[in-house]
Structure 1
Amino acid sequence: MTMRITSANAFESTIANLQQRQTDVSDAQNRLTAGKRVVKASDDPVAAARAERALAAMVRSEANQRALEASRNVMQQAESALGDAGELLQQARELVVQGGNGSYDSANRKTLAEALRGLRSQLLGVSNRGDGAGGYVFAGQGSDSPPFVDTPSGVVFRGAGGQIAAPSDEPLALSVDGQQAWLGAPDPSGSGTVSVFGSLDNIIAKLEDPTLDSTQVSTAVKDGLSDLDAVMNNVGAVRAAAGETLNRTDMVEGRIAESKLAAQTERSNAEDLDMVQAISDFQTKQTGYDVALKTYSLVQRQSLFQYISA
């Protein structure tokens, strides 16, 4: 009876050893296939937690990158649009200067006024430029329709003043405050503000008025140039701010890239395999499994008869 129990125990022990060796080989093979030291959290809970935190940081970096690209797109469009506006305003200024020519009569000034009205129309189009995503570059905090509307009393802003901030760890804008850009230039007189369109409307009305004498025309031209200079300086300042934002996105992009790389490295350090060591471990476990398999074969061939004969 004692011999039977011993033989049975040896057989069970061999089976258990064989199963464990087989499991070890399978686990090592899975790690090699995945290229990961930590395939599941139970392999190394501390390393798995490190890898999870690193993955979260990578996801956050990718979200920040998407927000940055959206901000860059809007700022590029705003900078370009404000550049166009600056050129149109410069053309308008040159026409107003011509209006001060003492040899011009009312017909000449009316022709200049018509040309200014054409530039005004182009500027209105620029102010309502779309952002390519269903919105408007100068809508401020958003608008479902063109933010600038031409009314009998002049152009009014129907958007929402201010800016939208990107959902990012970095302070990036997703819009431009159109009201400030187009209607918010400091009045040269020191009170209130003057708008791009209001300054043009005023000088157009003066140039079209046939009752004005040369002195009045000269005063109107002087005031018109003063207003145009104010709105041009304001448009230029907003354009410069958009350019600064674009410059900042380049620096922010570098920080995002560094953060993502650091997170990738941390994740790799936490869970990736040392392939040389892993192959060596696999070979060792495979050898152990082969030995266990041979031992099982020997034990399986044992019988009570063979044991008694011995």
Structure 2
Amino acid sequence: MRITVANAFDTSIKNLQKRNEDVYDAQDRLTAGKRVVKASDDPVAAARAERALASMVRSEANQRALEASRHVMQQAESALGDAGELLQQARELVVQAGNGSYDDTNRATLAEALRGIRKQLLGVANRGDGSGGYVFAGQGTDSPPFVDTAAGVIYRGAGGESSAPSDEPLPLSVDGERAWLGARDPSGSGTVSTFQALDDIVAKLEDGTLSDTQVAAAVKAGLADVDAVMNNVSTVRAAAGEMLNRTDLVESRIADSKLAAKTERSNAEDLDMVQAISDFSNKQSGYDAALKTYSMVQRLSLFQYLSA
């Protein structure tokens, strides 16, 4: 069979081009540190890597949601701690009001101090969350959730809690209605509002027509109400603290999930550097051999074939 110089030349060119492409491909993999640079390199591995990447992105979104929830729960826990201290001050004032030696003027002074504490409590209840919302807004409101009216403080938020978009339940607010207006009535017949409890005792202390017996009864009832709202605030604060503790566990799970996804992606597409260097060296040697062959073919002529 006779082989023409042109055919040998074309074959050498194609071989050289193929070897050159192989070298560049191996070099690209080394540079990228990836075994799978494009989906066609290994469709199955590329699909595994894509799923792992999606899981990593979801874990990052969950982490952002967790940080937002933790921030709000920290604010809620702090706010409820402040409320507890204010209510303790209010309780001490109510206890003082039961002093049999106090006259109407003394009780009026205590009532004014209680009114000041009530104002501070309203400010705590309407505390912002730092991002344009309110800690105790429930399921959300664009304005302060508690409004002071002639009939007393009312709640204009939406009951319940808003949650962050996450694979785990992560609250972004606290149910303000429950925290501030939902204490169990000492009589067991309903609920008592933090603000109404103070309003009632203030009204009694400012009423100069009450007898000592009536004042004593009012103080007793006022203490029972204040204790009820203090217990309720303490319970809600404890729940916020438990949520903060749970965020630590959730964060650990998110980190584990992200690490697992990262490992899966690495296993699917990352390069074995030792193998890759060896592969690159072999392809470079093949290219060098092809280049030498091409050089030899270039020197061939029809007369050299005829004289062979």
Which category of TM-score, normalised to the shorter sequence, fits these structures? over 0.9
Q: In the aligned structure 2, how far is the partner of 1:102 from the partner of 1:22? A: 103
Name the amino acid aligned to 1:287: S
Q: 1:98 offset after TM fit, Å?
A: 0.2
Q: In the aligned structure 2, how far is the partner of 1:47 from the partner of 1:301? A: 46
The one-character-per-residue Cα deviations of 1:201-226 (angstroms, maximum 9, x if unpaired) are 00000001111111000000000000
In structure 2, the residue matched to 1:193 is 191
Matched, 1:271 2:292: no
Q: 1:9 offset after TM fit, Å?
A: 2.3
Instruction: Indicate which of 120, 123, 126 corresponds to 1:125.
Output: 123
Q: Which moved more, 1:249-258 or 1:273-282?
A: 273-282
Instruction: Indicate which of 239, 246, 249 corresponds to 1:248.
Output: 246
Q: In the aligned structure 1, how far is the partner of 2:280 from the partner of 2:289? A: 14
Matched, 1:237 2:202: no
The one-character-per-residue Cα deviations of 1:67-122 (angstroms, maximum 9, x if unpaired) are 10010000000000000000000000000000000000010000000000000000
Q: How does 1:51-130 map to 2 (within 5 A)?
A: 51-130=49-128
Provide the secondary structure at the position in 2 that maps to 1:12: helix
In structure 1, the residue matched to 2:139 is 141
Q: 1:27 offset after TM fit, Å?
A: 0.2
Q: In the aligned structure 1, how far is the partner of 2:238 from the partner of 2:162? A: 18
In structure 2, the residue matched to 1:212 is 210
Provide the secondary structure at the position in 2 that maps to 1:111: helix
Q: In the aligned structure 1, how far is the partner of 2:141 from the partner of 2:231? A: 26
Q: In the aligned structure 2, how far is the partner of 1:296 from the partner of 1:201? A: 100
In structure 2, the residue matched to 1:289 is 287
In structure 2, the residue matched to 1:40 is 38
The one-character-per-residue Cα deviations of 1:133-179 (angstroms, maximum 9, x if unpaired) are 00110011111111101001100001111101211111111110001
Q: 1:6 offset after TM fit, Å?
A: 3.3
Q: 1:276 offset after TM fit, Å?
A: 1.3
Q: In the aligned structure 2, how far is the partner of 1:144 from the partner of 1:294? A: 77
Q: In the aligned structure 2, how far is the partner of 1:250 from the partner of 1:150? A: 37
Q: 1:309 offset after TM fit, Å?
A: 2.1
Instruction: Indicate which of 174, 177, 191 corresponds to 1:176.
Output: 174
RMSD: 0.9
The one-character-per-residue Cα deviations of 1:7-57 (angstroms, maximum 9, x if unpaired) are 332222211111110010000000011110000001011110110000000
Q: In the aligned structure 2, how far is the partner of 1:207 from the partner of 1:201? A: 10
Provide the secondary structure at the position in 2 that maps to 1:150: strand
Structure 2, unaligned runs of 5 or more: none
Name the amino acid aligned to 1:112: L
Q: In the aligned structure 2, how far is the partner of 1:122 from the partner of 1:180? A: 19
State the TM-score, normalized to the length of structure 1: 0.98
Q: In the aligned structure 1, how far is the partner of 2:42 from the partner of 2:14? A: 24
Q: In the aligned structure 2, how far is the partner of 1:71 from the partner of 1:134? A: 15
Q: In the aligned structure 1, how far is the partner of 2:238 from the partner of 2:111? A: 30
Name the amino acid aligned to 2:130: G
Provide the secondary structure at the position in 2 that maps to 1:156: strand
Provide the secondary structure at the position in 1 that maps to 2:4: helix
In structure 2, the residue matched to 1:23 is 21
Runs of 4+ in 1 over 4 A off after TM superposition: none
Q: 1:192 offset after TM fit, Å?
A: 1.4
In structure 2, the residue matched to 1:10 is 8
In structure 2, the residue matched to 1:261 is 259
Provide the secondary structure at the position in 2 that maps to 1:161: coil
Q: In the aligned structure 1, how far is the partner of 2:58 from the partner of 2:88? A: 44
State the TM-score, normalized to the length of structure 2: 0.99
Structure 1, unaligned runs of 5 or more: none
Q: In the aligned structure 1, how far is the partner of 2:6 from the partner of 2:142? A: 82
